[in-house]
Amino acid sequence: MMDSLLADASQRLEQALKYTFISEDAIESLKFPQTSLSVSIPVRMDDGSLQVFQGYRVRYDDTRGPGKGGVRYHPSVTMDEVQSLAFWMTFKCAALGLPFGGAKGGITVNPKALSRMELERLSRGYIDAIADFIGPDVDILAPDVYTNSMIMGWMMDQYSIIKRHICPAVVTGKPISMGGSVGREAATAMGAFYVIQAMLPKFDKDPESTTVAIQGFGNAGGILAELLYHKGYKVVAVSDSQGGVYSKNGLDIPSVRRTKEATRDVRAPYCDSSVCEISNQEILTNEELLKLDVDILVPAALENQITAANAPYIQAKLVFEVANGPTTSAADKILDEKGIYVFPDILVNAGGVTVSYFEWVQNRSGLYWTLDEVNQKLQSRIIEEADRIWTISQENAIPLRTAAYVHAISRLGEAISAKGTRDYYLNGRGKSRN
């Protein structure tokens, strides 16, 4: 593979293969994305001009079921990034035991620069371009960075127009009025909260004596911060793309969220205010937040935030990854040598795809669950898988990330081998990986 984000991500696969036994066929199948699509999306802007945006959709693997993955709108979106995200989704779905493969999509755009009408035209144009590539039994979309339920609703509606019948199961994270599931908006944060609550006692800690810093105060990070605050954790620092705030005595998180949302521009679906606007708190940068002496660090922003350059300065005892790929493979080695426990993204942020699965099931059956039912099902599943990954880590004396990949690879290997392998066709006479 090239020296890229995907190449870095694939190093986790190579490491995990040392601790599991799957066929050579399965290993070969997981090396590269199954299908990658690049499209151009022409959009008529409000001033009459025409702009063409680049869009992507990648289905990395569908051995265990249809592709599943979000769509992100961001200026830095590239094919390499989308392929890497689809790679992570493949292992995330397997780690959680979901009947999905991994997929991801994105558009290279600054969505905050678009009006609502331009945003709608872009979203519908994206579906026009990829409609033959997706479907309820092929590849299911969901929200990601800078996409939300409104955008998912536009996408589902456009797909239904193209197919000439209502297809709610093609997209998850939709408005509830269009077939969305209760609990989906907070699902990523809820899943992370359940994992933190389940794992904290293993370190003889309780919420009241635990300090937390959260990088990324968007939907997932903001909701998680409030969940932890109300449970008694001392959230001492939070940040967004413009910087952060810190208080050694703990922040009043509900007030921080209200301040950030107070100046929301009603003309656009994105909040333009920053947590830095909060008064009477110490201002710090995102980089400074990562280096704080806290019990728990939660990277909940974008990829590659903890690198070989700053990993030596990380002081947190526990890292819970709510963002996708926030830690590079080189940083992983440093954190492991420092004795820092890193709970990986393919477990910690899997609440979103798990409740997306619940939404897909509800759409297919026509039976809808209450919020309590959704949260109970999420809690049960994610804690069960977290305990399994913890056990694999302890029994093999390996990092939690490697354990999570071992767990996922075992399931993927079984599914790939069920279709027939070299050993099977040679009646067991072939060589297998040892």
* Distance of alpha carbon 165 from alpha carbon 74, whole angstroms: 31
Structure token pair of residue 360: 């897909």
> Which of 92, 104, 234, 317 does the annotation list as catalytic?
104
Structure token pair of residue 216: 């990324």
CB within 8 Å of 309: residues ≥ 6 apart? none
3-state class of 216 per DSSP? coil
* Distance of alpha carbon 230 from alpha carbon 228, whole angstroms: 6
Name residue 355's amino acid: V
Q: Measuring CA to CA, which residue among 90, 98, 80, 182 is closest to residue 385?
A: 98
Of 272 and 267, more confident: 272
Q: Kindly report, residue by residue over 193-203, the tens digit of the pLDDT.
A: 999 999 999 99
Q: Judging by DSSP bridges, how do beta strands 211-215 and 234-240 pair with one another? A: parallel
Q: Which residues of 298-309 are buried (b: 16+ CB within 10 A; e: fewer)?
A: bbbbbbbbbeee
Across the range 234-252, mean pLDDT stands at 90
Residue 171: DSSP 8-state: B
Which residues of the chain form CATH 3.40.50.720?
187-348
CATH of domain 187-348: 3.40.50.720
What's the confidence (pLDDT) of residue 275? 59
Q: Which helix (H) or strand (E) holds 297?
A: strand 296-299
Structure token pair of residue 56: 């992507």
CB neighbours (10 Å) of residue 312?
Answer: 12
Q: Kindly report, residue by residue over 223-236, the tens digit of the pLDDT.
A: 999 999 999 999 99
Model confidence band, residue 242 (pLDDT cutoffs 50, 70, 90): confident
Fold of the 34-164 domain: Rossmann fold (3.40.50)
* Distance of alpha carbon 23 from alpha carbon 431, whole angstroms: 9
104 is an active site residue: yes
CB within 8 Å of 344: residues ≥ 6 apart? 321, 400, 401, 404
Q: Kindly report, residue by residue over 320-345, the tens digit of the pLDDT.
A: 999 988 999 899 999 999 999 999 99
What's the confidence (pLDDT) of residue 416? 80
Of 102 and 26, more confident: 102
Which residues of the chain form CATH 3.40.50.10860?
34-164
Q: Which residue has the tokens 């880590």?
A: 393
Q: What is the DSSP string of 319-362?
A: EE--SSS-B-HHHHHHHHHTT-EEE-HHHHTTHHHHHHHHHHHH
Handedness of CA 323, 327, 332, 334 (dihedral sign): negative
Q: Are 139 and 59 in contact (CB under 8 A)?
A: yes
What's the confidence (pLDDT) of residue 198? 97
Across the range 271-278, mean pLDDT stands at 54
What's the confidence (pLDDT) of residue 278? 54
Q: Judging by DSSP bridges, how do beta strands 50-61 and 35-44 pair with one another? A: antiparallel
Residue 270 has pLDDT above 50, yes or no: no
Across the range 121-133, mean pLDDT stands at 98
Across the range 124-144, mean pLDDT stands at 97
